[in-house]
Amino acid sequence: MTDHLAGVREHYAFSDWLYYTAAGLVPLITAAVAIYPRSALGLVSYGIVLLAGITAVLYFFCTHCPQYQKPGRFLRCIFFWGLPKFFEPRKDPLTRLEKLAAAAAMIVVFLFPLAWLAEEPGLLIVYLLSLAVFLATVRRNECRRCAFSECPVNAAPNVKPGGPETVA
The predicted pLDDT at position 164 comes to 45
With vertex at residue 146, the alpha carbon angle to CA 88 and CA 127, rounded to the nearest 5 degrees, is: 90
- Sequence-distant (≥ 6) Cβ neighbours of residue 33 within 8 angstroms: 123
Rounded distance, CA 168 to CA 164, Å? 10
**Diameter of the chain measured on Cα atoms:** 52
Average pLDDT over residues 124-149: 93
- Sequence-distant (≥ 6) Cβ neighbours of residue 71 within 8 angstroms: none
**What is the average pLDDT score of the chain?**
89
**Looking at the predicted structure, is the pLDDT value of residue 75 above 70?**
yes
Residue 4 confidence class, pLDDT cut points 50, 70, 90: low
Question: Could you read off the pLDDT of 11-22 as tens digits, one per residue?
Answer: 899 999 999 999
Residue 158 confidence class, pLDDT cut points 50, 70, 90: low
Residue ranges per structural domain of the chain: 14-160
Under a CB-based contact definition with an 8 Å cutoff, are residues 134 and 26 in contact?
A: yes
**Looking at the predicted structure, is the pLDDT value of residue 125 above 70?**
yes
Residue 100 confidence class, pLDDT cut points 50, 70, 90: very high
Under a CB-based contact definition with an 8 Å cutoff, are residues 27 and 134 in contact?
A: yes
